[in-house]
């Protein structure tokens, strides 16, 4: 059911953009109002979400680690998987953010001939890495539409991406890789019973949405063909805060732009916030120094306590009478 719902919503969005531009002709709504609104919702929603997370108290270090912690100097400890210093944490975060180290350690358990076997399973890691890096490169490539002079570094990325010079316009490697990665990520939710069982509409929806974005983008570039110069006038107008709606842009582009706007607006309210959340994971970004530093819980009730001397001062006479030994006479 979840998958059907997500699919129908994305189809509805596509249809909405098509009807809005092709039939009703509300081009300026889809070209100007919705993209700006989406960016504003994205930035403000993102900041609010992160600040909300930032306000949660983190009084203790939460070591969920995959290595020997630092104890005695002659016991070898795991510097990256169980860091005790800020530098180690920085390394762990680096590997987490750039290489998805947690996914790399993914394992798969299976019962074969009545015995339990646990083995490494790298497919999810490879799929996730391929998807995220392709998406990043595609995003960076798109900056050529938002800057008048495309910086040389973006041109270099562009030419590396189209390195094979297949066809004209030349095929981007990332377009193929992201398509394959998305189909894999969707496929594991459909064909893997365990993953299917825990999948919700909010898991399928971003997948279908991004598949829709990639599909419309690929269609525009390689098959349907659009007036790129007019599109750049539109996108550059958005970036220059002087929005215009040039003539001669088909609804395929508006569908693409609308789906991207939906992705941006949906971002802060969804699981996609793992983009910001990965930086705020307490199990990843805190050094395991519980044995070296005292972390005081701010919620501790201020316990009223009394030293033995005060107690003895108060009851000394009674203690003496009862024959209880006292420290001070």
Distance CA 91, CA 69 (A): 16
From 27-35, 38-46, 179-187, 203-211, give the range in contact with other proteins by CB under 8 A: 38-46
Q: Given the complex with other proteins, which of 230 and 319 has the nearer CB atom? A: 230
Residues 109 and 118: beta-carbon distance below 8 Å: yes
The residues pairing with 117 across neighbouring beta strands, listed in sequence order, are 110
Question: Minimal distance in Å, beta carbon 58 to other proteins?
Answer: 5
Residues 217 and 285: beta-carbon distance below 8 Å: no
| Residues from 114 through 173 that contact other proteins (CB under 8 A) | 143-148, 150, 154-155, 158-159, 165, 167-169
CB atoms within 10 A of CB 86: 11
Query: With binding defined as CB under 8 A, does residue 283 bind other proteins?
Result: no
Question: Minimal distance in Å, beta carbon 157 to other proteins?
Answer: 11
Distance CA 43, CA 195 (A): 31
Q: Given the complex with other proteins, which of 103 and 143 has the nearer CB atom? A: 143
Query: With binding defined as CB under 8 A, does residue 77 bind other proteins?
Result: no
Q: Total residues contacting other proteins (rule CB under 8 A)?
A: 46
Query: With binding defined as CB under 8 A, does residue 22 bind other proteins?
Result: no
Residue indicated by tokens 């024959």: 323
Question: Minimal distance in Å, beta carbon 185 to other proteins?
Answer: 25
Q: What element of type H or E holds 110? A: strand 107-112
CA 98 to chain centre: 12
Q: Given the complex with other proteins, which of 225 and 291 has the nearer CB atom? A: 225
The tokens describing 186, both together, are 């969707």
Query: With binding defined as CB under 8 A, does residue 280 bind other proteins?
Result: yes
Cβ neighbors of 138 (< 8 A, separation 6 or more) are 172, 174, 175, 178, 217
Q: Given the complex with other proteins, which of 117 and 240 has the nearer CB atom? A: 240
Q: Which of 107, 194, 229, 297 binds other proteins (CB under 8 A)?
A: 229
Question: Minimal distance in Å, beta carbon 302 to other proteins?
Answer: 20
Q: Given the complex with other proteins, which of 11 and 43 has the nearer CB atom? A: 43
Distance CA 53, CA 280 (A): 8
| Residues from 246 through 275 that contact other proteins (CB under 8 A) | 248
Residue indicated by tokens 């959340």: 277
Residue ranges of alpha helices (H) inside the chain are 2-18, 27-28, 34-54, 86-99, 101-104, 123-141, 152-161, 173-191, 193-198, 201-218, 228-239, 251-266, 274-277, 282-285, 308-321
Query: With binding defined as CB under 8 A, does residue 242 bind other proteins?
Result: yes
The tokens describing 126, both together, are 């490879």
From 4-12, 57-65, 105-113, 318-326, give the range in contact with other proteins by CB under 8 A: 57-65
**Pairing state between β 115-120 and 107-112:** antiparallel
From 21-29, 47-55, 75-83, 178-186, give the range in contact with other proteins by CB under 8 A: 47-55
Positions in the binding site for other proteins (CB under 8 A): 39, 42-43, 46-47, 50-51, 54-59, 143-148, 150, 154-155, 158-159, 165, 167-169, 225-230, 232-233, 236-237, 239-242, 248, 276, 279-280
């Amino acid at each position: 059911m979840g998958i059907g719902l997500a699919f129908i919503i994305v189809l509805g969005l596509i249809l909405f953009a098509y009807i809005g531009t092709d039939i009703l002709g509300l081009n300026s709504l889809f070209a100007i109002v919705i993209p700006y609104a989406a960016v504003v919702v994205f930035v403000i929603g993102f900041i609010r979400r992160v600040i909300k997370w930032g306000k949660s108290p983190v009084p203790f270090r939460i070591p969920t680690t995959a290595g020997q912690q630092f104890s005695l100097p002659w016991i070898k400890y795991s510097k990256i998987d169980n860091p005790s210093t800020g530098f180690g944490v920085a390394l762990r975060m680096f590997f987490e953010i750039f290489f998805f180290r947690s996914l790399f350690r993914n394992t798969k358990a299976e019962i074969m001939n009545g015995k339990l076997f646990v083995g490494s399973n790298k497919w999810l890691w490879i799929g996730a890495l391929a998807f995220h890096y392709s998406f990043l490169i595609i995003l960076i490539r798109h900056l050529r539409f938002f800057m008048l002079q495309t910086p040389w570094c973006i041109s270099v990325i562009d030419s590396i991406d189209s390195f094979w010079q297949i066809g004209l316009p030349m095929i981007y490697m990332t377009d193929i890789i992201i398509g394959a990665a998305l189909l894999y990520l969707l496929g594991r939710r459909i064909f893997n019973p365990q993953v299917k069982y825990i999948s919700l509409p909010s898991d399928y929806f971003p997948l279908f949405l991004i598949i829709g974005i990639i599909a419309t983008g690929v269609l525009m570039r390689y098959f349907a063909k659009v007036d790129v110069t007019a599109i750049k006038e539109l996108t550059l107008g958005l970036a220059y805060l002087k929005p215009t709606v040039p003539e001669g842009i088909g609804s395929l582009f508006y569908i693409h732009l609308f789906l991207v706007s939906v992705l941006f607006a949906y971002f802060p309210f969804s699981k996609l916030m793992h983009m910001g959340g990965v930086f705020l994971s307490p199990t990843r970004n805190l050094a395991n120094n519980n044995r070296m530093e005292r972390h005081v819980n701010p919620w501790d009730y201020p316990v009223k306590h009394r030293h033995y001397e005060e107690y003895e001062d108060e009851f000394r006479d009674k203690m003496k009478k009862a024959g209880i030994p006292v420290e001070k006479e």
